[in-house]
């Protein structure tokens, strides 16, 4: 059983010293690959593949569904584990060291029918924007998902 959360300062100190497991939710459709723009944090205003930290004891596939709901407000179906992504750019900036498990997914029929990208916040891309993580660009290009 997990006790009370750590004080923020202690959490931040530990968080900066250990790899952080994340999931990357690579939403693919006939419209391209779905990207969102970071609202906060050290990567603010960069386009990115939606993703988030895996919680303690959370199965990876559960994290994929949670992140899709939290970041996009949609339900997804998982197609396959696509690849993993390391972020040396984060370490070089002194942020942290995430390692992302990238899952190719698609919107469920009910979500596809109601999902509307928000201009300048979410969008479908065939050609990747310049203001995006290089590591994620490489992932998407390696798998032929965007140019």
3 lies in some domain: no
Give residue 24's pLDDT band: very low, low, confident or very high (50, 70, 90).
very high
C-alpha 56/C-alpha 21 separation (Å) is: 10
Report pLDDT digits (tens) over 52-88: 999 999 999 999 999 999 999 999 999 999 999 998 7
Domain annotation covers residue 63: yes
Q: Which of 93, 95, 102 is nearest to 137 (CA)?
A: 102
| pTM across the whole model | 0.85
Q: Is residue 2 part of a domain?
A: no
| Domain extent at residue 40 | 8-142
Is residue 147, in this structure, part of any structural domain at all?
A: no
What CA–CA distance (Å, rounded) separates 24 from 95?
18
Strands 122-125 and 76-86: unpaired
Helix (H) / strand (E) element for 9: namely helix 8-15
Residue 56 counted as domain residue: yes
What CATH number does the domain containing 101 carry?
Answer: 3.90.79.10
Phi, then psi, of 126 in degrees rounded to 5: -100, -35
| H or E element at residue 139 | helix 134-142
Quick one: average pLDDT of 3-26?
83
Number of domains making up the chain? 1
Are 143 and 80 in contact by the 8 Å Cβ rule? The answer is no
The CA distance from 27 to 33, in Å, is 6
Q: Is residue 1 part of a domain?
A: no
9 vs 16: CA distance, rounded Å: 11
Confidence of residue 19 (pLDDT cuts 50, 70, 90): confident
């Amino acid at each position: 059983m997990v006790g009370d959360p750590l004080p923020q300062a202690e959490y931040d100190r530990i968080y900066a010293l250990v790899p952080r497991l994340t999931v990357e939710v690579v939403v693919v459709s006939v419209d391209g690959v779905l990207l969102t723009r970071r609202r906060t944090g050290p990567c603010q205003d960069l386009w990115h593949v939606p993703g988030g930290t895996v919680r303690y004891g959370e199965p990876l596939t559960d994290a994929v569904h949670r992140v899709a709901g939290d970041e996009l407000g949609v339900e997804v179906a998982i197609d396959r584990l696509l690849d993993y992504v390391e972020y040396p750019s984060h370490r070089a900036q002194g942020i942290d060291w995430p390692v992302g498990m990238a899952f190719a997914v698609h919107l469920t029929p009910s979500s596809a029918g109601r999902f509307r990208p928000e201009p300048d916040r979410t969008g479908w891309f065939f050609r990747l924007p310049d203001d995006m993580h290089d590591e994620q660009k490489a992932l998407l290009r390696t798998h032929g998902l965007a140019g």
